[in-house]
Amino acid sequence: MKITVSSLFLLIFLIIITAMCLLMVYFILRTTYYVNYLTNCDPKAPFCYIKKIKLSIPNEFLGPLDQIAQSEGTRVEIYKKRQKAVSIQKLQAQLPEIVEWYKSLTTQISEVIGEKVKVTPLNQPNSLSLVVYEKEGDFIDWHFDTNHYSGRYFTLLLPVTTAPTCGNYQYRNAEGETETVYLQQGEAILFEGDRVFHKGKELCKNQRRVVLSCTFTSSQTITPPEAILNFIKNWGIFGEIA
């Protein structure tokens, strides 16, 4: 049987499409299939996958961050998510001081967790980012974060805007019940995203919510398969690649 060049290209194309579809199915299952990991966590432990902590963004950064959130960012509107994201690259270009502040948090975060952590690689768009909910109905549905690193992976969320909104952070607690987190002035939420099933509630009309997301890991190593997934995720969320 003779194989033509065109049929060979068609075969390669079909293999690539099939691989991408399988990868997408795997990604969806990995982020949305619910397992209650909190039931396996010792409630007496200093950090049980999620914790509200005393920490806030320095006041001198709040105004500039809010301005960047208005003028920059890539908007994503898919069935599981409606929001805008501003990458660390844009933050570094316009407010490099916030990146230095982020890097200074590792000691404090390590103490809370009880394990030494580092900032995630600064070439990753989501290492430090702004998450912006600005239109009615903006949200992110129930999910686990994807941990592409060989170690543990943590996210710290700090409010840039403090006006009350409908779009609060929610998660499933150890009893499987939905719990809403309300952050007061000077508070932040620290959680291990691939162990905590969470969402951002829908924003109501004439509201706006801006959050600074800081990520940390106990190991910056990424295996080749995870690097591919990470590449796709970064391109889809930020329109940027590391």
Per-residue pLDDT reduced to its tens digit, 5-50: 777 778 888 888 887 777 777 777 778 889 999 998 887 888 999 9
Residue 28 and residue 100 share a domain: no
pLDDT digits (tens, 9 = 90+) for 68-123: 999 999 898 988 899 999 999 999 999 999 999 999 999 999 999 999 999 999 99
* CA distance linking residue 71 with residue 96, whole number of Å: 17
DSSP-assigned beta bridge partners for residue 187: 54
DSSP H or E run through 187: strand 187-191
What is the span of the domain harbouring residue 21? 1-33
DSSP state of 145: P
Instruction: List Cβ neighbours of 145 (8 Å cut-off, separation of 6 or more).
Output: 31, 153, 155, 193, 194
Number of domains in the chain: 2
Instruction: List Cβ neighbours of 143 (8 Å cut-off, separation of 6 or more).
Output: 31, 32, 80, 197, 198, 199
Residue 228 and residue 158 share a domain: yes
Residue 20 and residue 47 share a domain: no
Residues 68 and 130: beta-carbon distance below 8 Å: yes
Residue 95 and residue 5 share a domain: no
pLDDT digits (tens, 9 = 90+) for 49-72: 999 999 999 999 999 999 999 999
pLDDT digits (tens, 9 = 90+) for 163-179: 999 999 999 999 999 99
Residue 24 and residue 82 share a domain: no
* CA distance linking residue 36 with residue 144, whole number of Å: 11
* CA distance linking residue 94 with residue 126, whole number of Å: 16
In percent, the amount of the chain with pLDDT more than 90 equals 70
Residue 58 and residue 101 share a domain: yes
Q: What is the pTM of this model?
A: 0.88
Residue 83 and residue 11 share a domain: no
